[in-house]
Amino acid sequence: MTITKTNIEGCVVIEPTIFEDNRGAFFESYNKKSLEHYLGMPIDFVQDNHSISTKGVLRGLHFQNGVFAQTKLVRVIRGEVIDIVVDIRKQSRSFGEYFKIRLSEENKKMLFIPQGLAHGFLALYDNTQFIYKCDQYYKKEAEGGIIYNDPDLNIDWEFPSEFIILSEKDKKLPLFKELEL
């Protein structure tokens, strides 16, 4: 596996080593020992989530607050997404910055997202399947978010805004500068 740092402190892209032959392909999608060795810290994922979205669905930008903050390992098993993380850790040197990557069933890339980042993704195909591991259980009372089209973040989602599909909750998320962190 190849691990590459991003501009966001602690956030890394993981590219698995893929073994292909006439039968198909094989790769390790998660290896706790290797990831912990690279990061130099223990990881204890406790929950796996599986999201299925139609083309144009944007989920995010979400986060969990305080002791319920989540580390995530995300990947796409069908389709493709534009995946975005925003650093909301005030003490971080990358505070207020974002990182964007395309994750797909073809490239098999994964993104390791440390606690303290807002996260969202936009499905580029119908029936896009997005799975992720979390190191904390979801707690509704601890959820937070940032509106996807925040003018200060200026994220290019590479998709016509008139075709973006949002949940009612995500339509009402605050601006980055309105967050109480």
Q: Which of 136, 122, 18 is nearest to 76 (CA)?
A: 122
Short-list 35, 93, 74, 77, CA closest to 85: 74
Choose, from 30, 38, 62, 125, the residue flagged as catalytic. 62
Among residues 30, 50, 125, 132, the one annotated as catalytic is: 132
Whether residue 119 lies in the annotated active site: no
Closest CA to 31 of 73, 70, 63: 73
**What single DSSP character describes residue 171?**
H
**Which letter does DSSP use for residue 175 in this model?**
P
Torsions phi, psi of 67, nearest 5? -70, -10
Mark whether 125 is an active-site residue: no
**Active site members:** 62, 132
